[in-house]
Amino acid sequence: MKEVRPGPHPTPLAIVEPEQTNHAMAFEKLIDVERCQPDKGTFVACNGVELAVFVLDDASRAVVLDNSCPHASGNLSGGEVRDGVVLCPWHQWEFDLGTGVCTHSDRAVVKTYPAEIRDNEVWADLS
């Protein structure tokens, strides 16, 4: 995994290169839990897919969404998390962290990925 320095535009905290993934498994390691702020989003790019990674509930649960808001491509990893939703920082649409469905309209849905924490690492199935 390559370190990425923060910049003025959303920059992934971690970039997972294809050679670092185990293609025999559907799940891929995204990032160490300790690199994620509790109850906040972390921007991770994996094999060209931009993701918002959330470590919740005292680091017992991980949620992985597409990072791009379906409204106008806002950076969901920069959104505030509260009461099981993430607020898009651009226009404050809320998305349920369990389903990815917008709380204002079920026609707006952000893709979610099966995710879990294994040995203090966030893993997700991006297939």
Nearest residue (CB) to ligand FES, 12 versus 74: 74
Tell me how far, at minimum, the Cβ of 93 lies from ligand FES, in Å. 4
- E-only strand ranges, 47-104: 49-56, 61-66, 80-82, 85-87, 94-96
Residues that bind ligand FES in the complex, under the rule CB under 6 A: 69, 71-72, 74, 88, 90-91, 93
Of 61, 79, 59, the closest CA to residue 69 belongs to 79
Nearest residue (CB) to ligand FES, 74 versus 100: 74
Question: Is-contact 124 30, C-beta < 8 A?
Answer: yes
Nearest residue (CB) to ligand FES, 27 versus 93: 93
Tell me how far, at minimum, the Cβ of 19 lies from ligand FES, in Å. 33
**Residue that has been written with the tokens 């670092």 in this structure:** 20
